[in-house]
Structure 1
């Protein structure tokens, strides 16, 4: 998960601050030096870091912090505020004016434009819009075919005209959308391995021909500062209206997300958080700042759960957890439902107080789920209801019956206990929320 290393370093810095009853100016400056280094190691633009540290320091050595009974907490709150401001203060929604509204996706080859076009089409369909994907990349081998495959998967129509000129395809797509009732056009334009004049001229022609309401740059967040440089170049030529960061779920230091708005002035509108075609999230600066600082992101978690979890089953499960009846049958069912929400690392990052490190080993892909299901199906009804009775001989029998190893069975039972803890905490959070007491604990880490 992006920002993982940065989050760990900031948490260690803040622990030192919280441990002090009063803060001196030298304490604050020492913390700022450590934060500066952590941000630079996360590949945040050095000018952005300099400005950020200056703002935080100015506020942190003020009277309000120095005289506070909880100065460490006040500094954390200031860092949170400034991180949020750095990434844009508040979310920037799509501009969908026009009949049809035209969204033009641009970027370098390999940034994930075609997949992102499908994700965006899927997102808009769920909003009740009628999008049309347009294959305007005639250069990359199989790009047109790929867009058709992606469109079929998300049940969004695709318009293509083979290898006709991209500007002709773009114009024709507007007429096609108007005739067929599509109210949003998503243009998947061509990219290059690097920025060149020919690419930019073609994109300018398309812009002039269809007058898009949005020109969104798709950038790979794993390229770090290169992503910022690419954004600057595209913005100077095309006047971008926003950005979509892909692969933010990957092993990236996250510097692009923290730098790109400050450097280009263009808001981040969406982030790609996985490989599935529904792994596209609207970007909320405050929620991302909260995740970076280990405060969780309960609002996004609730939204994901609402979209993916069977409400009837969830109520039944809540009752079983409350009565401490959560068993291995529930465990398997929950794994299947939770997998729809994304990777468990992502989900943990949204829960206040949780981190992937605290729940190491609790992650599943589709192949793992098959193995888990085989192991649970090899158990007796009593073993599923009460796993504590599963001794050494039972584990051997279960492993043999499921075609797995005793180590696999042991691993599953350990994961079950971890999931029980997670379910109990989520249940307690939900009860607090219903009573009107729940809030994101900015200071209670």
Structure 2
């Protein structure tokens, strides 16, 4: 039996983005530490705004103290051009546990029926409520309930929890590689399929048809299907009739927005996962900061826990309030001017040389090195790098990828970059 949580198979999706973060971790993080991050963390969910990863509680405090989580947050901001935030979910200590079980799911009184139905689905998968549509407004707990269901359905066989956008991208990949038959066999052979955010398939007719086909095939095998959406099936206007009808033949249940008291209880439980002891007033401050929508709770807690004084003062509501007002902490980037100055000094050039239309190796190599370092250590986007060196942003992208690949193949380049980075970090340390 296996439990699979598959991220999207595209550069914008979970695996490529997470791979980019891991490969872009700063040099000051040892290879051993970087390898431990890769081995003991798991992508749980990807949206355009947030990359959610799970980390075992047993490693959480160490990774906070030695800067690994801060490095992940800063690197994600860099590789996503500051469009994506990191959210850390502390997991139970089993390696790569994909989420929390239903037993730890905190439901408001109005959502107790949904929790009871979910428990029934776990006891009797594929029998009475398949497909099951969970719908409700953003932040009502659909994704967390889906994740808990996926965890508890492991006993039934192979489980796939996947975002609708990821499903669509995997289908596109199967079409491109002419492996559609294999794709269908894998999906149709699952014991349970859980699809998050159905509305992401609006305007994607092939994906909708494929999901409808999967629902029909899995109904025949009595497999369990759970889908989340913002609206009930009858109101999914951009969803094809076949898929809508497949959903209407199953069960549906509305998740209601959580009451203030339940939100506070959820915050207390989430903070406790980090090993902190929060006060009720602190939980109330966090709920107020989120405006009653807990969708960003894991992101906000990650920002708070990246600040050591805050971790030690989670009983002080006024301290937490001030910290929340200051916004997220980021690792102090090296100034772009310092990078350009260091590179030109090393190669005996002027900054104007790097910006000039000179294409000789004497200048192009230092220019590419400058672009690489600006990207790696200054949190600059490719357009920002291009603007500083009067080049198109694709030139900066090419330079970064080229040096990232050659760094481990060219001993001379590797030594040059190591030396420059050491000098840059020493200057940053001296300045701070």
TM-score class normalised by the smaller sequence: under 0.3
TM-score, with length taken from structure 2? 0.26
TM-score, with length taken from structure 1? 0.25
